[in-house]
Amino acid sequence: MNNPRLGALVFAAALSCAEPLRADCDFDEFPLLEGMQVASIAENMQWNNVPMSVKGFQVEAPPEAVKGFYGERWEGEVDFSEFGPWQQIMHLTEDCMMMVQLQGQGTQSMGRLMLVNPPDEEMVSRPLGSGVPIPPDAAVVSDMQNQDRFRDGQMVMLASSNTLEDSVSWYESEMARNGWQLNRRLVRQNDATLIYSEGREQLSIVFLRHQEFTQILLNRMDR
């Protein structure tokens, strides 16, 4: 998920539907327009411990036709809204949440189909940020994990009350103590980047200094 607005949307949507749901849905239950071409973006992803799947789509139909189709299929249980440049269609059932996010492009529509399921008990109890080093003063803002057939990955965003310099220093000490190899180091006045490797794993750490806190983004993946 490279679009921060999409990330914020998925995060808010997941929180809004996670507690009342009890069963799982899959994409076989997601209605598709005739001729809709879909491709997987994230097959098995967890956003702040809430499981979801995301597919991209393209169809030879304007947005109003797409909205009309889902309005009929989900009649009485559908919500239409806008989020920045996206038009949204949301359907909430007893089992899951389905969302269509779309934009028009000429005579076509393109966007994403999102399926959000409730977390199981083990996932709910998992501390956010597990799997990456977190300074004692930092708070976890978001934790996105993705496991697919090719590789596992995790992206964690933190907010730290420490200065940029102290945050970088903490990670340099912590990573060296745990045997990680430093591959790249770039430190400037208001931002910094550290890239480490250990075996098949790689961890990049990006720091960005704001007026009152330091934002830290950790990206862990198998190589």
Per-residue model confidence (pLDDT) at position 208: 96
- Which of the residue ranges 2-6, 64-68, 163-167 would you say has the lowest mean pLDDT? 2-6
Residues of the chain with CATH 3.40.1000.10: 127-222
Angle among Cα 106, 103, 48 to the nearest 5 degrees reads 160
Question: Which tens digit of pLDDT belongs to each residue from 183-192?
Answer: 999 999 999 9
Per-residue model confidence (pLDDT) at position 149: 63
Distance from the Cα of residue 143 to its chain's centroid? 8
Q: Containing H/E element for 66?
A: helix 63-73
Q: What percent of the chain has pLDDT over 70?
A: 87
Per-residue model confidence (pLDDT) at position 13: 46
Question: Which tens digit of pLDDT belongs to each residue from 132-148?
Answer: 999 999 999 999 888 76
Side-chain half-sphere CA neighbours of 112 within 13 A? 20
Question: Which tens digit of pLDDT belongs to each residue from 56-81?
Answer: 999 999 999 999 999 999 988 999 99
- Which of the residue ranges 62-66, 85-89, 95-99 would you say has the lowest mean pLDDT? 95-99
For residue 14, pLDDT over 60 is answered with no
Q: Is the model more confident about 192 or about 21?
A: 192
Mean pLDDT of the chain: 86
Q: Is the model more confident about 108 or about 14?
A: 108
Question: SS3 helix, strand, coil % of the chain, rounded to 5?
Answer: 20, 45, 35
For domain 127-222, give its CATH number from 3.40.640.10, 3.40.1000.10, 3.40.50.2000, 3.30.43.10. 3.40.1000.10
Per-residue model confidence (pLDDT) at position 45: 84
Cut 0.75: pTM above it: no
